[in-house]
Structure 1
Amino acid sequence: MKYQPTRESVTSHPVPQWYNDAKFGIFIHWGLFSVPGYAYSEKGKSIRDIHSETDEFKGQKYNPYAEWYLNSLRIEGSPTQDYHRKNYGANFSYFDFKNIFAKESCNMDPRKWAALFRKSGAKYVVMVTKHHDGYCLWPSRFKNPYIEKYQSERDLVGELTDAVRGEGLKMGLYYSGIFDWSFKKNPMNSAARWLDHYLPSDQYAEYAFHQTEELIERYHPSVLWNDMGFPPQCDLDRLLADYYNAVPEGVTNERWIQRHLPKGISLEEYADMLVKQGEITRLDDGIHGDFLDPEYVDVNGIPSKKWEQTRGIGMSFGYNRFENPENFLKGKDLIFMLADTVSKNGNLLINVGPMADGTIQEAQIQPLLETGEWLSVNGEAIYGTTWCTPQTGRTNTGREVRYTRKGECVYAIVMDDHPSGEICIHDIPVPVGRKLSILGCQTLIEGKAEASVLKFRIPDGVKGPAYVVKIE
């Protein structure tokens, strides 16, 4: 099928089966912000916690995202500004980090990253090619008009793309479509300033459109992951038609909103109006995109369309050298998050934030390896499954249960660090007696599933942090 540059055509694009089946992906935030590797970190608070205590704009002063370093640096009196001046001096520009990053990034070995991602059990990878600071991780034909050599001479995107595909995984690319702080100097710490970044110059609109087209043509990404929105001057239907025609099995997220300033109203008035309507931080246009992409939020029930949960292993996407190790997800946390997300028809895109030299912290590596080890035994209950009703439950011992389905088989994923004894689960999604087994366990289960009640005894040798009962 050839897609036309029309709303009707591009919105007819189906979610490809590989994406429905993959379930687990790796996000990578790496760039100039990895050099200072700093963000305000207080008691493990997430971005949602901070926003709930203030608002989306005042909270920018204490943003826990290290990849937002430049915006935080521009806010007077912010912890990031204090840190920067003490460690680099008031006259050291953020953009000067490009020289340090160019040197440090020479040490990055894309094959090591790709091997780790395969071992984690992930089926696809999404790499940030340009974040909000505007620095590009590939030698783009379209140069930044304000900062000389503001891109990597080494094709970091291309090298990782080849390495990831060499491991048998799908490769996706992230691009910050609407925010580029090398084009705008004001910090985003008020509603009006936030909105101003949604109204870019024609020069930037052309730049962003051409760079996105270049990424599509050059790398054919299986996932085109746009962030925050896209310039209103651009023909979005044309862009997505070009993408779907170049990569028929490609998939895009929903963050494509294009904002226009209505005639006869000031920027400040329009910003206030959007705040009152609860629309100021909306990222989607309700039309484009193949999947929803909530960030650092818990999702209840089944969303209206395919979705992907994304977050860091810690409270930042970019590397934060000062983040408390207690903030990082442990292996069992990541496994539960994956099971919970998949049971609700979602994918999990978990982020790693490497250091400038490409080193990934052990605190980020370990939960990935533990998840991969668990998936090597229990992946049957994750990959290629669908959701069923109910999605959740509890055992008689209070352990959380998540359900998935594949054909006639139902999988009960039970979170339990030390499995043992007699287990009973009510309201399981099967009405009649079935054969029971525990994935990875050679011993037959003594038990039965009937009248929506599952009863069984856990045999010796079953290990935590989660085991899977297959009901067939």
Structure 2
Amino acid sequence: MSQPSTSTESQPAAPEEWAQLKRELPEWFRNAPFGIFIHWGAYSVPAWAEPIGALGTVKDPREWFTHNAYAEWYMNTIRIDGSPAQKHHQEVHGGVPYDELLDQWHAENFDPASWAELFKEAGADYVIPTTKHHDGIGLWDAPGTNGRNVVHRGPKQDLIGAIAGAVKEQGMHLGLYYSGGLDWHVRPFPPHISSDSVHDTDRPKDPGYAQYAYDHVADLIERYRPEILWNDIEWPDAGKHFGPGGLGTLFKEFYAACPTGVVNDRWGSTTHQDYGTSEYEAHKDAESFDAWENCRGIGFSFGYNQVEGTEQSLTGKQLARQLVDVVSRGGRFLLNVGPKADGTIPAIQRQSLTELGAWMAAGKQYLVGATPLDSAVAVPTDEPWIRWIDRGTEIVAFVDSLDESTTAIDLAPTGVRLEGATVEGSGATVTYDGGKLHVQLLADRVGPAVIRIPRT
């Protein structure tokens, strides 16, 4: 097993030290409503989880962890005695050690240029691949891993370098995900069966692991110059300082190397963040931040799950509604793609992204730089499905129907010129009569109709 380098104990930074890192959001991020997440790893070989529901909807923690819907948590779930994943791993994979899955992962059909082209066509502003998930396997030649990474085993290539180059070639912004909070290889705690275990009692907090994680992220910054650092779970407590190898120092180095960079909120509640992150139906408190992002998969898993089908997956229309809903409430949407082990994007995911792109071709421009609309002007509803945004000189209504038989909808916001309303694209027609705007939804719409209404 690889051993983290050691560091000396330092005192945790005081709140005023973290406060010195506060800064304005860069313009590009303020105007970036949509990003793509990528979860790809040795867990993509078995590609198996129970699709029991979205995170935040399964209330019993023991049930969630024992029947985990996240395929990328396979290494943890198969260690829980009596779990269906453990039984599946024994029956299908002979109970082999997890690292043998790394050697079975070949990525033989990996085409990063085609990935980036698909993401661009779907309307993405930024792309965030996973560099190291909780299983501890680096998707680049991570320092200190003693060859337990994809350059030396499995795919035998720098996957992050290939993705980063393709993303930048398409003019999108690069972010990088890193699991600083957990590493089941270098710090093999018992399997997690509770949220407290994940976020506190069974996560590494020691100086050696803090230095190990610091060295990784510093290397990622130096090699790939990301504009987003997306940490997960937490940061080892012993590293929450501004000394050598400390998180505060890491942030300073990141901002110096990437002046337009931002960091998320999963480094520890007492540290620093530029924006908050919710996940499916969980961590909703983050949506009260001035800047926030909601992340989720097309299905219930981030890593590819061969058990999922169309019944667990969002269509392009549904993705467009999710995106609009998030932006109308002041957030941005980070949608995950989980490639197969061979490097291909599953057909269901590709179709949903293509459908979303068809809507984004006309609709995205009205999400860029948008702000939530004052409720005194109009309020959102779910049936009919209506979301509102404010664009200064105009307001925009995004109108759809969850009940496909409902096609005629009336709008009556205040303080605007309803008679000047227009439709962007071909999702509906509008007429003005008697102080109301009559919207006729068209059956062939590819997502919510976009109704522009000028202010008085």
Range class of TM-score, shorter chain: 0.7 to 0.9
Structure 2 contact 137–148 (Cα < 8 Å) conserved: no
Do the aligned residues in 2 keep the contact of 1:6 with 1:238 (CA within 8 Å)?
no
Residue correspondence of structure 1 range 214-229 to structure 2 within 5 A: 214-229=219-234
Q: Structure 2 CA distance, aligned partners of 1:191 and 1:420? A: 42
Paired position in structure 2 for 1:99? 103
Aligned pair partner of 2:27 in 4, 12, 17: 17
* Selected match of 1:320 from 305, 316, 319: 305
Q: RMSD of the TM alignment (CA)? A: 2.8
CA distance in 2, matches of 1:449, 1:136: 63
5 Å matches for 1:330-341? 330-341=315-326
Compute the displacement of 1:463 (Å).
Answer: 3.0
Distance 1:26 1:145, change over 3 A: closer
Q: Are the equivalent residues in 1 in contact too, given 2:141–2:149 (CA < 8 A)?
A: no
Q: Partner of 1:308: helix, strand, or coil?
A: strand
What CA distance in whole angstroms lies between the structure 1 residues aligned with 2:40 and 2:260? 26
Q: Note closer, same or farther for the CA distance 1:449–1:336 as it changes in structure 2 (3 Å cut).
A: farther
AA aligned to 1:296 is Y
Report the CA distance between 1:384 and its aligned residue: 2.2
Partner AA of 1:215 in structure 2: L
Whether 2:215 is the aligned partner of 1:213: answer no
- Larger mean Cα displacement after TM superposition, 180-189 or 130-139: 180-189
Secondary structure of the residue aligned to 1:15 is coil
- Kindly state the Cα deviation for residue 63 of structure 1 after the two structures are TM-superposed: 0.7
* TM-score normalized with structure 2 length: 0.86
Instruction: Give the superposition deviation at 1:145.
Output: 8.7
2:131 alignment counterpart? 129
Matched, 1:239 2:250: yes
Deviations 1:273-321 (A, max 9, x none): xxxxxxxxxxxx1541111111011869972321100011001000111
The Cα of 1:354 is off from its aligned counterpart by 0.6
Contact kept? 1:301, 1:344, Cα under 8 Å: no
- Counterpart of 1:295, as a letter, is E
- What does residue 6 of structure 2 align with? none
- In the TM superposition, what is the alpha-carbon distance from 1:442 to its structure 2 partner? 12
Q: Report the Cα distance in structure 1 between the residues aligned to 2:343 and 2:350, rounded to whole angstroms.
A: 13
Structure 1 residue 144: Cα displacement: 4.5
Match of 1:178 in 2: 181
Other-structure match for 1:265: none
Compared with structure 1, are the counterparts of its residues 68 and 144 closer, same or farther at alpha carbon in structure 2 (3 Å cutoff)?
farther
Are the equivalent residues in 1 in contact too, given 2:265–2:276 (CA < 8 A)? yes
Stretches of structure 1 lacking an aligned partner (at least 5 in a row): 258-284
Deviation at 1:14, TM superposition (A): 1.7
Unaligned runs of 5+ in 2: 1-15, 240-245
How many Å apart are 1:219 and its aligned residue?
A: 0.7
Could you tell me which residue of structure 1 aligns to residue 432 of structure 2?
447
1:47 aligned onto 2:33: no
The one-letter code of the counterpart of 1:247 is C
Q: How many residues align?
A: 426
- Correspondence list, 1:53-132, <5 A: 54-55=60-61, 57=62, 59-90=64-95, 92-101=96-105, 104-132=106-134
Q: In structure 2, how many angstroms separate the alpha carbons of the residues matched to 1:141 and 1:449? A: 69
Deviation at 1:411? Answer: 0.5
CA drift at 1:435 = 1.8
Query: What does the per-residue CA deviation read over 1:75-129, in whole Å, with 9 as the maximum and x for residues that have no partner?
Result: 1111111111111223x1001111111xx21321101110110111111111000
2:411 aligned with 1:425? yes
Change (3 A) 1:331 1:236: same
- The code of the aligned residue for 1:455 comes to L
Per-residue CA deviation, residues 327-358 of structure 1 (Å, 9 max, x unaligned), is: 00111111110110000011000101111111
* SS in structure 1 at match of 2:238: coil
Corresponding residue number in structure 2 for 1:360 = 345
Instruction: Give the share of equivalent positions with the same residue, in percent.
Output: 34
> Any conservation in 1 of the 2:143–2:215 contact (CA below 8 Å)?
no
Give the Cα–Cα distance (whole angstroms) in 2 for the partners of residues 408 and 8 of structure 1. 36
Contact 1:144 1:150 in 2 (8 A): no
Shift of 1:324: 3.3
Alignment match of 1:29 (pick from 39, 43, 60): 39
In 2, Cα distance between equivalents of 1:445 and 1:31: 48
Q: Deviations over 1:171-211 (max 9, x none)?
A: 11000002000023321125674433333443222111100
Which range moves more in the overlay, 328-337 or 439-448? 439-448
TM-score between both structures, scaled by the size of structure 1: 0.83
Q: Structure 2: how far apart are the matches of 1:23 and 1:369?
A: 17
SS of 1:383's partner is coil
1:25 and 1:368 map into 2 onto residues whose CA distance is 12
Is this contact kept in 1: 2:430–2:437, CA < 8 A? no
CA distance in 1, matches of 2:92, 2:131: 27
- Give 1:151 deviation, angstroms: 8.1
Is residue 165 of structure 2 the alignment partner of residue 162 of structure 1? yes
| 1:38 alignment partner, one of 48, 55, 63 | 48
- CA drift of 1:459 comes to 8.8
